[in-house]
Chains A and B, each alone.
Chain A
């Protein structure tokens, strides 16, 4: 079945460490997105990519980095520069320039201790 796989589901890291969240899709979607979700704040866009080897900053990109070397994969690195990284992270994909919505992964809950 086609879909988006995010791994791991739960992630614990020590403060000051970089951590990479995985997002893989087999939907043949061109566009991929990373969102951060905090209680009461809805979904905030971190980065998005419309095509391979290209990506743009979203609304809260500071302290995060991404790469898009393959169409299927869009990993997100939470760097030590992110001041408050504990959150729920959602990856999504869509057809490019499409009137369709997004397909979401099941999310990764990152806790920094």
Chain B
């Protein structure tokens, strides 16, 4: 079975703090992709990053960074020096490409991040 777990339901931080959103996934497939999406209050989900199972390099994009570790089946997301505009719900998702599983994204339940001034 495939599953994505975001154990943190809600996180509240003060502006300029660093914050890490956890994502743990389960899959028996060898080829898969992991994603992070941001859902601001407006409602539209915005794509943040895609990472394939063969690339464990960490990635940094401005204040955002991602730590992919296959050994612990985790794909954590860190926001450095958080800002009020980072307040949103963040979703982690898994997409497998082995036979029979290549049609749907498996979603975590999301982490609601509140960044307070």
Contacts and interface: CB of A to CB of B under 8 A. Distances in A.
Interface of A: 40-43, 45, 48, 50, 56, 58, 88, 90, 92, 97, 99-107, 109
A40 B9 CA distance: 8
27 contacts: A40-B9, A41-B109, A42-B91, A42-B110, A43-B91, A45-B104, A48-B103, A58-B104, A88-B43, A92-B45, A99-B33, A100-B50, A101-B35, A101-B37, A101-B50, A101-B95, A102-B45, A102-B105, A103-B47, A104-B44, A104-B45, A104-B46, A106-B42, A106-B43, A107-B43, A107-B44, A109-B43
Contacts of A100: 50
A48 B95 CA distance: 15
Contacts of B76: none
Contacts of A56: 103
Contacts of B102: 97
Contact of A106 (B33, B35, B44): B44
A102 B104 CA distance: 10
A48 B107 CA distance: 15
Interface in B30-60: 33, 35, 37, 42-47, 50, 52
Given A45-B104, A58-B104, A106-B44, 4 more contacts: A42-B107, A88-B43, A100-B50, A101-B93
Contacts of B110: 42
Contacts of A104: 37, 44-46
Interface of B: 9, 33, 35, 37, 42-47, 50, 52, 91, 93, 95, 97, 102-105, 107-110
A3 to B, nearest CB: 10
